[in-house]
Amino acid sequence: MFCHACGQSITDGALFCPHCGAAQSSAQAAPATAAPAMAEPQASTLREYSMGQVISSTFADLKSNYLTHVIATLLTSIIGGFAFGLLVAPLQVGYMKLEEKIQGGESVTFTDIFKGFDHFVPALVAFLISAVITGIGFVFCIIPGLVLMPLIPLSLYLVAQGEKDGVQAVQQAWGHLKRNLLMAMITMIVLSALGSLGIIFCFVGIFLTLPLVYIGSYHMAKALTATAETA
Residue 9 pairs in a beta bridge with 2
Residue 79, H or E segment:
helix 66-79
Question: Which residues lie closer than 8 Å to 217 by C-beta, 6 or more apart?
Answer: 92, 96, 153, 157, 188, 191
Model confidence at 91: pLDDT above 90: yes
pTM: 0.76
Q: Which residue has the higher pLDDT, 155 or 2?
A: 155
Per-residue model confidence as pLDDT tens digits over 58-86: 999 999 999 999 999 999 989 998 888 88
Instruction: Summarize the confidence of residues 48-60 as an average pLDDT.
Output: 94
Please state, in angstroms and rounded to a whole number, the distance separating the CA atoms of residues 166 and 73. Answer: 23
* CB 8 within 8 Å of CB 19: yes
Per-residue model confidence as pLDDT tens digits over 193-223: 999 888 777 666 777 899 999 999 999 999 9
Eight-class DSSP state of 33? -
- Extract long-range pairs of 7-14: CB within 8 Å, 24+ residues apart: none
Measured CA angle at 15 (ends 13, 19), to 5 deg: 105
| pLDDT band with cut points at 50, 70 and 90 for residue 188 | very high
Q: How high is the pLDDT of residue 21?
A: 67
Model confidence at 30: pLDDT above 50: no
Question: Which residues lie closer than 8 Å to 2 by C-beta, 6 or more apart?
Answer: 8, 9, 10
The rounded percent of the chain whose pLDDT value lies above 90 is: 66
If you count DSSP H runs as helices and E runs as strands, how many of each does the chain have, helices first?
A: 11, 0
The amino acid present at 202, given as its one-letter code, is C
Eight-class DSSP state of 16? B
Choose the weakest-confidence range: 47-51, 70-74, 174-178.
47-51
Q: How high is the pLDDT of residue 228?
A: 57
Average pLDDT, the chain: 86
CA distances to 64, 86, 154 from 143, rounded to whole Å, are 35, 25, 19
Per-residue model confidence as pLDDT tens digits over 124-159: 999 999 999 999 999 988 899 999 999 999 999 999
Choose the weakest-confidence range: 9-18, 51-60, 140-149.
9-18
What values do phi and psi take at 164, rounded to 5? -95, -5
Q: How high is the pLDDT of residue 119?
A: 97
Q: How high is the pLDDT of residue 69?
A: 96
Q: How high is the pLDDT of residue 26?
A: 52
